Amino acid sequence: MYKIKWSNEAKLDVKNIYDFIKLKSVRAAKNLVTDIRNAPKSVVFENQFSADDYVPECRKIVVKNYKILYIADLHNKIINVIAVFDTRQNPDKLTDIVVKP
Protein backbone atom coordinates (compact mmCIF):
# COMPACT_ATOMS: atom_id res chain seq x y z
CA MET A 1 0.00 0.00 0.00
CA TYR A 2 1.31 3.42 -0.96
CA LYS A 3 0.98 6.63 1.03
CA ILE A 4 -0.57 9.42 -1.07
CA LYS A 5 1.00 12.90 -1.06
CA TRP A 6 -0.70 15.76 -2.91
CA SER A 7 1.43 18.65 -4.17
CA ASN A 8 0.19 22.18 -3.53
CA GLU A 9 -0.51 22.51 -7.25
CA ALA A 10 -2.62 19.33 -7.26
CA LYS A 11 -4.56 20.51 -4.19
CA LEU A 12 -5.25 23.83 -5.91
CA ASP A 13 -6.30 22.01 -9.09
CA VAL A 14 -8.86 19.95 -7.12
CA LYS A 15 -10.15 23.06 -5.35
CA ASN A 16 -10.57 24.87 -8.67
CA ILE A 17 -12.39 21.88 -10.16
CA TYR A 18 -14.73 21.79 -7.15
CA ASP A 19 -15.39 25.54 -7.31
CA PHE A 20 -16.22 25.34 -11.01
CA ILE A 21 -18.49 22.27 -10.86
CA LYS A 22 -20.36 23.44 -7.74
CA LEU A 23 -21.76 26.37 -9.74
CA LYS A 24 -23.99 23.80 -11.44
CA SER A 25 -24.29 21.17 -8.71
CA VAL A 26 -22.75 20.94 -5.25
CA ARG A 27 -23.50 17.21 -5.13
CA ALA A 28 -21.78 16.59 -8.48
CA ALA A 29 -18.78 18.63 -7.32
CA LYS A 30 -18.48 16.62 -4.09
CA ASN A 31 -18.83 13.31 -5.94
CA LEU A 32 -16.21 14.25 -8.52
CA VAL A 33 -13.71 15.46 -5.92
CA THR A 34 -14.25 12.25 -3.92
CA ASP A 35 -13.58 10.17 -7.06
CA ILE A 36 -10.44 12.19 -7.83
CA ARG A 37 -9.12 11.95 -4.27
CA ASN A 38 -9.77 8.20 -4.09
CA ALA A 39 -8.27 7.30 -7.49
CA PRO A 40 -4.59 7.24 -6.40
CA LYS A 41 -5.52 4.70 -3.70
CA SER A 42 -6.11 2.20 -6.52
CA VAL A 43 -2.38 2.11 -7.39
CA VAL A 44 -1.03 -1.32 -6.49
CA PHE A 45 2.35 -1.12 -8.25
CA GLU A 46 4.32 1.83 -9.61
CA ASN A 47 3.79 1.22 -13.33
CA GLN A 48 0.14 0.24 -13.09
CA PHE A 49 -1.11 3.17 -15.16
CA SER A 50 0.34 4.40 -18.44
CA ALA A 51 2.91 7.14 -18.78
CA ASP A 52 1.50 10.53 -19.73
CA ASP A 53 2.00 11.67 -23.32
CA TYR A 54 2.79 15.28 -22.36
CA VAL A 55 4.63 14.80 -19.05
CA PRO A 56 6.48 11.50 -19.59
CA GLU A 57 7.99 11.54 -16.09
CA CYS A 58 4.47 11.02 -14.73
CA ARG A 59 1.97 8.22 -14.77
CA LYS A 60 -1.69 9.10 -15.24
CA ILE A 61 -5.02 8.00 -13.85
CA VAL A 62 -8.10 9.16 -15.75
CA VAL A 63 -11.25 10.01 -13.79
CA LYS A 64 -14.10 11.19 -16.01
CA ASN A 65 -12.65 14.23 -17.87
CA TYR A 66 -9.70 14.65 -15.52
CA LYS A 67 -6.19 13.28 -15.64
CA ILE A 68 -4.35 12.77 -12.34
CA LEU A 69 -0.59 12.94 -12.85
CA TYR A 70 1.61 11.18 -10.31
CA ILE A 71 5.07 9.82 -9.68
CA ALA A 72 5.60 6.69 -7.61
CA ASP A 73 8.46 6.66 -5.09
CA LEU A 74 9.21 2.94 -4.84
CA HIS A 75 11.76 3.17 -2.07
CA ASN A 76 9.46 5.08 0.30
CA LYS A 77 6.18 3.61 -1.05
CA ILE A 78 4.71 7.05 -1.78
CA ILE A 79 2.48 8.21 -4.63
CA ASN A 80 3.25 11.88 -5.29
CA VAL A 81 0.28 13.49 -7.04
CA ILE A 82 1.72 16.29 -9.16
CA ALA A 83 -1.36 17.78 -10.84
CA VAL A 84 -4.98 17.21 -11.85
CA PHE A 85 -5.75 18.33 -15.38
CA ASP A 86 -9.03 18.75 -17.26
CA THR A 87 -8.49 16.76 -20.46
CA ARG A 88 -10.82 19.10 -22.37
CA GLN A 89 -8.22 21.88 -22.08
CA ASN A 90 -5.30 22.43 -24.42
CA PRO A 91 -2.71 19.79 -23.49
CA ASP A 92 0.08 22.28 -24.18
CA LYS A 93 -0.73 23.71 -20.74
CA LEU A 94 0.85 20.56 -19.31
CA THR A 95 4.28 21.73 -20.45
CA ASP A 96 4.15 24.22 -17.56
CA ILE A 97 4.16 21.37 -15.05
CA VAL A 98 7.54 21.04 -13.41
CA VAL A 99 8.37 17.62 -12.02
CA LYS A 100 10.74 17.79 -9.06
CA PRO A 101 12.98 14.76 -8.46
Q: How many domains does the chain have?
A: 1
- Report pLDDT digits (tens) over 61-93: 999 999 999 998 888 989 999 999 999 988 888
The reply to whether 82 falls in a domain is: yes
Class of residue 8 by CB neighbours under 10 A (exposed 0-12, middle 13-18, buried 19+): exposed
The reply to whether 75 falls in a domain is: yes
Straight-line distance from the first to the last Cα atom of the chain, in angstroms, rounded to the nearest whole number: 21
- Report pLDDT digits (tens) over 5-60: 999 999 999 999 999 999 999 999 999 999 999 999 888 766 667 888 888 888 99
- pTM of structure: 0.87
Name the residue range of residue 81's domain.
Answer: 3-90
